[in-house]
Amino acid sequence: MIYNIPDTIVFDLTNAIVIDNPFPHFTATNVLPQNNISNLYDWFLSTTEWHLVETDFYEQYEFSLLNVQIPDSLKNLVSEQSLSEIENLFKKKFGVNALQLVDVVAHKLVNSQHIGVHNDYINDEETHRMVLHINPDWQDEKGGFLMLFNSSDSHDISKLVRPINNTAFGFEISRRSHHAVSQIHHYVRYTIVYTFKRF
């Protein structure tokens, strides 16, 4: 459910930096107010909504924020105003005329899980995505790096993105948006993925 709550824009994406290689993407820091990120982390620790999803290139726990009861303190994460803030960033930085929300999904990766190289491309059903990292006390040795590739070759790494707490990574989905997540080591990696399509 998308909530129409007045004056509930929660995201601060003003410091987003856009980079074109290996495919168009942006990074942003200090995206949520501290109380939001703390409440979100506590909810992820306690909720029973997680269910395991397995495919040919990953297994992870997930659930859609649009299909569950969200705590009142976190409803602004899927308010119309907050979703418009993300959409406006894509429109401004990526030259998109208009976007439509597809889904908002929480992801959880646990010890030894990883995500193989893929590009998320399914024609025009999904065209833009923002990943919000919720990972207090994360350190390099915990793994879970977002890896960007120049091609579908797993050895052709272009860039590593640290899943630092309260940072966001957004990108344009295309045939060349190859990325993966490295193996988790004795940690639980949380993200929220906002997916849009161009129309």
Q: What is the pTM of this model?
A: 0.95
Percentage of the chain beyond pLDDT 70 is 95
The answer, yes or no, to whether residue 24 has pLDDT greater than 80, is: yes
φ/ψ (deg, to 5) at 26: -135, 160
Percentage of the chain beyond pLDDT 90 is 88
* Block residue for tokens 């290139």: 57
Domains and CATH numbers, the chain: 23-198 (2.60.120.620)
Position 124 confidence tier, pLDDT thresholds 50, 70, 90: confident
Pick from 160, 115, 165, 99: nearest CA to 136: 165
CA distance 77 to 177: 26
Average pLDDT over residues 92-114: 96
